Amino acid sequence: MYRYAALVLFLAFGIVFQLSHGTEVDVKDKDDKLCLYANLMVNFSVSYDAADNKTATAEFELPPKVSTVGSECGSSSSMLKLSFGEGHTWSMNFNTVDGKKYQADTITFSYNLSDTTFFPKSTSNDTLTATVKPHITDVGLDTCYSCNSKDTIEADAVNQTLWNVLIQAFVINGNKSENITSCPADVPVTTVTPTTHATSTAAPVTNATTAAPPTTTPTPTLPPPSTGKYSIKPDDNSTACLLATFGLRIGVKQADKYQEMNFDPNGTTVSGSCGVNSSELVLVSNTMTITFTFTNDTKKFRLHALNVTGKTSSGVAFSEANTNLSLWEAAVSSSYMCNKEQNYTITGLLTIFTFDLQVQPFGVKKGVFSTAEECFLDSDLSFLVPIAVGVALSFLIILVLISYLIGRRKSRTGYQSV
């Protein structure tokens, strides 16, 4: 009871805790002065050969604690080298250009397939290397490069997504610069409409009337999306190993415009796979492709990654992904259910809305959902929220009144003693 009351009081007073999982490092020169600074987030998606002639995908992120041994600082070239886990290294090389700017030339990622934490059931113990060219150019020499937007760099078997990046590869006099060079994706695009000036002689106006103000057409409200029922079977003769039922709406922000679209389950192609620790549901409609990736830790499952690509109603293409989610969590032997409308911010540009949701990516028996674990909005405890808000506000009013009465009494006592 106390636990639920505490939860509701947090909701009532709007207390929000936000954790940052970025990797922040300082590289110092031989004089123990700061010469290279980095604070960034990197997600990895690596395909590798697993047991039973299967191909698996490992998804993990650059951890907050890494080693910078091997990093180098120079007047015209620098290298940030980060080591983590059992033999994994990630490095970025920088070079100056014309003595006024610098750029990142290469990113080199070496990963050890014998690390069972990241690569379970790998058939190889080799350490492989992927080298790619990042999109970091024309950075002012005495500035920090900043890019909050996600930048995915693809190689044959390795995809790397960088975001929330803040790097100064050449620190002058040991002091990090306050000046910023932003990546193009973070710079807002401003469209200027040309103004046409017409020269004419206005005729005199008689019996003039006031023109009615222009009317604006309100943005139409979308109806609730149709509910789709989806299932994955290992083969045609098997029962379903993954079940999902939901209505889905996609919200996309492009430049200064925001648009919402209902996902139409009619005519949608359903595919995917079921694994021991990872399952995937892929939905392909006429306008978009959505990939849901679920993982489990043998006790609970969750939606771990979501990738959405498609086109808006105006024909503009978009592609957004997040491979570090923790949504729709429930016990492996259960399903997750939330009938109420829910919205989730997947990236800064993508939001999804779910209706009548129920999913079970693991442990499906006889092709039907197992007992559901309900979301908070569906539970019987949801009615406590308005009650707790009222109680909290009443408590605040009583505190203010008591403080006022105590203050007034002290003022009166002080006056009588004079």
Coil, strand or helix at 232: strand
pLDDT at 303: 96
Q: Which two tokens stand for residue 309?
A: 């690509």
Assign a CATH topology to domain 227-381.
Porin (2.40.160)
Q: How many CA atoms lie within 13 A of 271 on its CB side?
A: 5
pLDDT at residue 383, as a whole number: 53
Note the pLDDT of residue 21: 53
Question: What pLDDT sits at residue 388?
Answer: 67
Q: Tell me what pLDDT residue 234 has.
A: 86
Average the pLDDT over each of 167-181, 282-296, 387-401 and give the range with the smallest value: 387-401
Which tokens belong to 85? 């886990």
If pLDDT is split at 50, 70 and 90, which confidence band does 63 have?
A: very high
Task: For residues 316-322, give the mean pLDDT.
Answer: 91
User: Residue 307: is its pLDDT beyond 60?
Assistant: yes
Measured CA to CA, the distance from residue 127 to residue 74 in angstroms comes to 28
Give the model's pLDDT for residue 382.
46
Fold of 20-186: Porin (2.40.160)
199-210 confidence digits (pLDDT tens): 444 444 444 444
pLDDT at 17: 34
Q: Report the Cα 202 to chain-centroid distance in Å.
A: 57
* CA–CA gap between residue 148 and residue 90 (Å, rounded): 20
Rounded CA separation 271/280 (Å): 8
Summary mean pLDDT of the chain: 83
Is the pLDDT higher at 180 or at 220? 180
12, 392 contact by CB (below 8 A): yes
Predicted pLDDT of residue 250: 95
Burial class (CB in 10 A: 0-12, 13-18, 19+), 358: buried
- Is pLDDT above 60 for 1? no
Which residues, at least 6 apart from 347, have a Cβ–Cβ distance to it below 8 Å? 150, 320, 321, 322
* Strands (DSSP E) found in 214-287: 227-232, 242-254, 257-262, 269-273, 278-284
**Average pLDDT value for residue range 219-227:** 79
Write down the pLDDT at residue 192.
44
Please tell me the predicted confidence (pLDDT) of residue 413.
57
Query: Is 227-381 in the same CATH topology as 20-186?
Result: yes
Burial class (CB in 10 A: 0-12, 13-18, 19+), 44: buried
CA 347/CA 151 separation, integer angstroms: 12
Q: How would you class 203 by CB atoms within 10 Å of its CB: exposed for 0-12, middle for 13-18, buried for 19 or more?
A: exposed
Ordered by start, the domain boundaries in the chain are: 20-186, 227-381
Closest among 25, 22, 92, 27 to 64, alpha carbons compared: 22
